[in-house]
């Protein structure tokens, strides 16, 4: 007769067999759950990765960022060169960071165990998770502005409830709260149904935005006249060598904008069936897609001046000026969908894995995502976003922390480990295992992150160094890449530094 304990074990084994998680008996339950374990099957192809980047690019934030580059006082060709260089750099680094997760089938916080230690990986996980929480709230707030446009269009009498001073709470109007929480719930529903639903959502969301963006651009250009559309959104201020520093800043801004999704890209590349699919998806989704979206953005923005009498950089506001109710509905719905797309891929999936990594036994992927979603309400993101100085510091400090985390991961995988990972040792607290280091923490990684993050932060907050603030990501990444390589040779125990003879992928 089978004992209850044996029956439970058989049931668990059967459940694990039918899931896509490869959980071995040797895996420590304090480091493992079905969401963090290696994948049995990896099925995403080129289009899925391409669609991921479309969802990441096609948002209100991406629209405003791309438009702002054309208003720097550079000529249009200089801006396009800057965009191309910046996005090719992003593509290169995304290929680098994608590989360790793709070949092991593990998410970002788990692959970080190789460089930070099986317990030390909670350091980058928590840092990335907290940053995602802030941006999740801000993006939800941005998307909710489209909801307000629609509500006031159909029900003008609600205008007093859109005024936070008359009817508001915690700095947001009652109508604003309604829009914010509506978007909050919609995103949570998409997320809660699982990663397969997210894949399906981003597969159609990105192309849908393109269709509406092209239609909006064609309509505005036809109204304005082709001769009145200019790719330069401001007067030419910089020529010759004077333009070089501005172009370098534009390149750095592009990289900083993508630094968050780039860091935890492994959360998605782990699902790819092979690395070639990732590289092809990155090519179509980054250089090709971003340049196409940027051109559509500047054409649309430029046409708003002759059509509406003022330059409008916010697509939601542009949609709000259209007389057609159908066009307004379609446009507002599309930009809400676009922002939901980037929010889920960049700011929901990431903290879901990150917070789950802190306590896998108690926090599932879904629970981790909901922790992030609830926390995003309490930070009152509208108060952060409405202060340009706070946004500026947030972007630069984000780069200051994300750069070092990226540099350590890349340095460890490519320079120290030479692309070898003992997957089973990522899930054990055995002191003799490869990634136990010292009590579960890699002293080389912990020691690296302090100067690698502190120096870029000083560039942000010290007035005399603020000319370097735009390059905080590059500074932090470069310092971490070098310092970690040097410290790893001295501080990592010999048994952890040896290259394994076992294959990289789990067996």
Q: What are residue 272's DSSP bridge partners?
A: 44
CA distance 105 to 115: 17
Q: Among positive and negative, which fits the CA dihedral 469, 470, 474, 476? A: positive
Contact in structure between 199 and 349 (CB atoms under 8 Å): no
Contact in structure between 158 and 405 (CB atoms under 8 Å): no
Longest dimension (CA), the chain: 85
Say what the pLDDT of residue 399 is.
66
Q: Among positive and negative, which fits the CA dihedral 19, 25, 27, 32? A: positive
CA distance 266 to 95: 10
Q: Using the structure block, give the residue that is written with the tokens 């788990």.
A: 110
Say what the pLDDT of residue 1 is.
42
Chain centroid offset of residue 54 CA: 12
The model's pLDDT over 289-309, given as tens digits with 9 standing for 90+, comes to: 998 888 888 888 888 888 888
What are the distances in angstroms from CA 473 to CA 62, 96, 221?
19, 16, 37
Alpha helices in 284-324 (DSSP H): 289-308, 315-320
Say what the pLDDT of residue 502 is.
42
CA distance 17 to 23: 9
Token digits for 51? Answer: 């669609």
Instruction: Report, as ranges of residue numbers, the positions in the chain whose pLDDT lies below 70.
Output: 1-18, 386-396, 398-399, 493-507
Say what the pLDDT of residue 364 is.
87
Helices (H) and strands (E) in the chain, counts: 22, 2
CA distance 404 to 456: 9
Say what the pLDDT of residue 443 is.
95
CA distance 367 to 347: 14
Alpha helices in 284-435 (DSSP H): 289-308, 315-320, 325-347, 349-358, 365-378, 381-385, 388-410
> What is the CATH T-level fold of the domain 42-386, as seen in this structure?
Hydantoin permease (1.10.4160)
What are the distances in angstroms from CA 356 to CA 52, 58, 353, 373?
22, 28, 5, 14
């Amino acid at each position: 007769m089978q004992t209850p304990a044996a029956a439970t074990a058989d049931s668990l084994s059967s459940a694990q067999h039918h899931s896509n998680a490869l959980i071995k008996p040797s895996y420590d339950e304090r480091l493992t759950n079905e969401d963090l374990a290696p994948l049995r099957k990896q099925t995403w192809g080129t289009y899925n990765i391409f669609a991921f980047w479309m969802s990441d690019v096609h948002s209100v934030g991406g629209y405003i960022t791309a438009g702002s580059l054309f208003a720097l006082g550079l000529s249009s060709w200089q801006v396009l060169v800057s965009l191309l260089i910046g996005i090719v750099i992003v593509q290169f680094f995304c290929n680098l960071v994608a590989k360790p997760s793709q070949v092991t089938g593990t998410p970002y916080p788990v692959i970080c165990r190789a460089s930070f230690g099986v317990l030390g990986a909670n350091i980058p996980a928590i840092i990335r998770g907290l940053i995602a929480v802030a941006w999740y709230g801000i993006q939800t707030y941005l998307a909710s502005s489209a909801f307000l446009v629609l509500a006031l269009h159909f029900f003008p009498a609600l205008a007093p409830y859109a005024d936070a001073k008359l009817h508001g709470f915690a700095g947001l109007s009652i109508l604003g709260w309604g829009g914010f929480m509506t978007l909050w719930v919609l995103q949570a529903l998409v997320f809660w149904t699982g990663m397969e639903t997210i894949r399906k959502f981003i597969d159609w969301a990105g192309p849908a935005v393109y269709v509406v963006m092209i239609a909006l651009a064609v309509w505005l250009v036809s109204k304005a006249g082709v001769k009145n559309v200019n790719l330069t959104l401001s007067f030419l201020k910089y020529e010759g060598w004077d333009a070089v520093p501005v172009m370098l800043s534009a390149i750095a801004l592009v990289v900083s904008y993508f630094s968050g999704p780039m860091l935890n890209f492994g959360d998605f590349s782990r699902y790819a069936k092979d690395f070639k699919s990732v590289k092809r998806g990155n090519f179509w989704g980054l250089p090709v897609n971003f340049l196409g979206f940027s051109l559509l953005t500047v054409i649309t923005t430029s046409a708003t001046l002759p059509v509406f009498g003022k330059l409008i950089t916010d697509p939601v506001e542009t949609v709000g000026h259209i007389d057609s109710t159908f066009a307004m509905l379609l446009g507002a719905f599309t930009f809400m969908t676009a922002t939901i797309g980037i929010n889920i891929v960049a700011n929901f999936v990431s903290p879901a894995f990150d917070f789950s990594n802190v306590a896998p036994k108690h926090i599932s992927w879904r629970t981790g995502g909901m922790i992030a979603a609830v926390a995003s309400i309490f930070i009152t993101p509208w108060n952060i976003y409405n202060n340009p100085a706070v946004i500026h510091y947030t972007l630069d400090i984000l780069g200051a922390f994300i750069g070092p985390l990226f540099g350590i991961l890349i340095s460890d995988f490519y320079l120290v480990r030479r692309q070898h990972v003992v997957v089973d040792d990522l899930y054990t607290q055995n002191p003799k295992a490869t990634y136990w280091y010292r009590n579960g923490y890699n002293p080389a990684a912990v020691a690296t992150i302090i100067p690698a993050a502190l120096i870029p932060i000083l560039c942000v907050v010290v007035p005399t160094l603020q000319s370097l603030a735009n390059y905080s990501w590059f500074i932090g990444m470069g310092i971490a890449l070098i310092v970690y390589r040097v410290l790893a040779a001295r501080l990592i125990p010999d048994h952890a530094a040896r290259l394994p003879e076992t294959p990289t992928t789990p067996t």
